[in-house]
Structure formats: C-alpha cells, structure tokens
Structure 1
Amino acid sequence: MTPQQQNCARYVELFENLTPQRLDELAPLLTETVHFRDPFNDVRGIAAMRAVMADMFERTESPRFRVLHWCVDERQGYIRWRFSARVPLLGDWDVEGLSRLLFAPDGRITEHLDYWDSGPLYERVPLFGRLIRLIRRRLAAGG
C-alpha cells in the first residue's frame, strides 16, 4: 500500500468517526499549508481547517459523514460521501458530495476540495428559498 493509500484510509476512518474530541487527529494527515474548500469556506492551514470542522460541530446537531466510496493514486484521491445533520431552524439535512484530495510526496493531504450542491439548504431559508426555487424553475429544461 502506498503512503497516499495508507493516509487516505486513515482520513476516511477519521471522517466517518469524527467527533470534536478527534479533530486533532487531522493534523498528522495534512500538510501545514493544506487548502480546504467547500461551498461555505476557503481556508489554508491545519488550524483553519480544524476551525471549520469545529464550527460544524457547534452549528449543527449530530453531524455525520458516511463514506460511500474512495479511490487513490499517487497524486490524488476522491472520496464520495453522504453527510447528515440537524441544522437549527432548517431541520434535518442530508447531502451527497465528493471530495478531491491532492497528496504531497510523503502521502499527506495538501488539498481537500469539496463538491456538493448547497442549493437545497438555501431553499429552506424563508423568502430566499422562494427566490431560488423560482430561478431553478426558470432555468430548468422547458422552463
């Protein structure tokens, strides 16, 4: 098993069992200048990425990642996942997404970019949600 595969396997296990108490376990798997991006955040560095994860635990109830599939080569990897949580004022939330990882030569993660549709979450926000649903209908085929 390559260093990238070993590190990714540990990363997957950590994300599937992530708790506030385990956030410090991210650091050895990441480069000091790791780049993390999702639809709400774009940060660099271990401390900044850890802060994003800590914020997730503060702003949601029972957040959980379930990894559906992952694959790795010597330079990059992909993790397909399902995230669920309870979001105050908006209710239960469940979203499927994909994370693209880039690896340093020693196998540590240098970039973690998340791709998922945040639109359904915004659609739950009063007034704003009506506007988004209207725009989606207008842009849909035959709309």
Structure 2
Amino acid sequence: MTPSNDLREAVLRLADFYARLQPQDLDRLDHFYTPDARFKDPFNEVRGLPAIRRIFEHMFASLHQPHFVVTSQLVDGDQAFLVWEFRFRMRRFDTTTEQVVRGGSHLRLAADGRVLDHRDYWDAAEELYEKLPVLGALMRWLRRQASR
C-alpha cells in the first residue's frame, strides 16, 4: 500500500469516527489526533488532546443527540477536506426541532494518519445565531439591511 492510500484509509476511519462519535469514544481521541494537534473553529482555537477533548465534551453537555454526517471527502497528499452536516437538538430554546449546521473541516495529517491540524469552516451567523430566539431576529434584520 502506498502512503497516499494509507492516508485515504485514515481519512475514511476518521470520517466514520465522527459519524459514530459518542461521549465514551473521547477516550480514543489519541487514535485520531496527535498529542499536540491544533483545533480551530469559529469559537475555539486550542492545541493538544486535553483541550480538543474539552471541546467535544462541551458539545455533548450543551446539545442533545449531536452527530456528524460526512457527505463528502477529498484527500490530497497529507491534507483532507471533509464536508459535513452537524445535526443536533438544543437543550434550551427549541428542544424538539433538529438543527443542521453545514460546514467543512480542513485536516492536515501526520505520516501515521492522525490529525495534526483541524480547522472547521462554517458560517456561525447563518447556521447558528439566526436560529436563536432573540439573536436570530436581530441577525435576520442585519442580513436584510446589508442586502439593500
């Protein structure tokens, strides 16, 4: 097997890990991330497994039934891009409606296939803020004003 095939298989395993992720799986983060991996999204920028674990723990504590649906993936050398939908229900506000945040993750991989750098891209205003009761109305008004 060539190194690029190994990395493709590593990305497939990683996508499957995200799709099935449950709180007990956080004990296996070291199988998927290097000890000093970096993670960045619209709300966080951290380095190291303990900090990355805290982000996932917060996700499980704050949301009901959070899960990822990876809809496509691209692998080029030691980099990958996953396109995903993050599905969940709020624990507060509207607790019955499933919410969907669409985004993507740019990953840089170590030779062993573990993630060195993970950067999530998604529009916090459109995908999250507009769904919140009071803030959503303000965000929709601002969007209308900006488009005039």
Q: Same fold (TM over 0.5)?
A: yes
Q: Distance in 1 between matches of 2:18 and 2:83?
A: 12
The aligned residue for residue 74 of structure 2 is 71
Q: TM-score, normalised by structure 1?
A: 0.90
Q: Distance in 2 between matches of 1:8 and 1:126?
A: 37
Which stretch shifts more, 87-96 or 15-24? 87-96
Structure 1 residue 49 corresponds to structure 2 residue 55: no
Detail structure 1 runs of 4+ shifted over 6 Å in the superposition: none
Deviation string 1:50-86 (CA, Å, 9 cap, x unpaired) is 1111111110001111110112122200101111101
In the TM superposition, residue 130 of structure 1 has moved relative to its aligned partner by: 2.7
The residue correspondences of 1:1-143 to structure 2 (distance < 5 A) are 2-91=5-94, 92-120=98-126, 121-140=128-147, 143=148
RMSD over equivalenced CA pairs, Å: 1.5
Q: Distance in 2 between matches of 1:136 and 1:106?
A: 44
Give ranges in structure 2 of 5+ residues lacking alignment: none
From the two aligned structures, give the one with the greater helix fraction.
2
Q: TM-score, normalised by structure 2?
A: 0.87
Give ranges in structure 1 of 5+ residues lacking alignment: none
Alpha-carbon contact 2:93-2:133 (below 8 Å) kept: no
Identity of counterpart residues, as a percentage? Answer: 37
Q: Distance in 1 between matches of 2:36 and 2:113?
A: 14
Q: Distance in 1 between matches of 2:29 and 2:75?
A: 18
Alpha-carbon contact 1:39-1:114 (below 8 Å) kept: yes
